Amino acid sequence: MGSRVLIDNSNPFNSLPSASLFTDLQLAELRECFILFDRTGSGYIEGADLGQALRALGQNPSEDDIAKMLNSANLDAGRLSAGEYLRVIGEYGLRDEDEMGVELKEAFRVFDRNDVGSIDAGELKNALKIYGDKLQDDDIEKMIAIAGLRDNGSLDYLELAAKLIAK
């Protein structure tokens, strides 16, 4: 979201039951994001927009995570109310950059056979195509370009994780 978020404690969004699960700053960002995705001003966002909303908040849920969240949600004609939006996200939890960085590094470390902080780009490409949320070739190439390929065909996954989190 924007770098500057005004916190409005008089807004009814702050008094929703699940609001206590979040810091004031998180709640302000969640509110801003909800308003952005409530395209009609009806007080609801489409369930199909939940993943995109979470990504706009800097989260990186898998498609499986999103499906679980939507399955646990009390949807109204496929839509989430502000209260349900907060409840579902509160159950999922918002991860900060440090937590996401650790998770990403641990995932990459699986491919670091010599424990030297680098992984073979070809092996990473194959893994990203077949495990978890399968990525397309162009997305994988962008990721490798961000990391910077070494002469030996490997990349520094610690540097890649830091750059991906910073994006």
Tell me the pLDDT tens digit for each residue of 5-62.
444 444 556 777 777 778 888 888 888 999 999 999 898 999 999 999 998 887 888 8
Could you give the 3-state DSSP secondary structure of residue 112?
Answer: coil
pTM over 0.85: no
Q: Which amino acid is at 148?
A: G
The Cα 167–Cα 163 span in angstroms is 6
Model confidence at 134: pLDDT above 80: no
Is 46 within 8 Å of 78 (Cβ atoms)?
yes
Contact 57, 22 (CB under 8 A): no
Distances (CA, A) of 138 to 94, 121, 142, 152, 155: 28, 14, 6, 21, 17
- Any idea which residue has 């969004």 for tokens? 13
Phi (first) and psi of residue 39, to 5 degrees = -65, -25
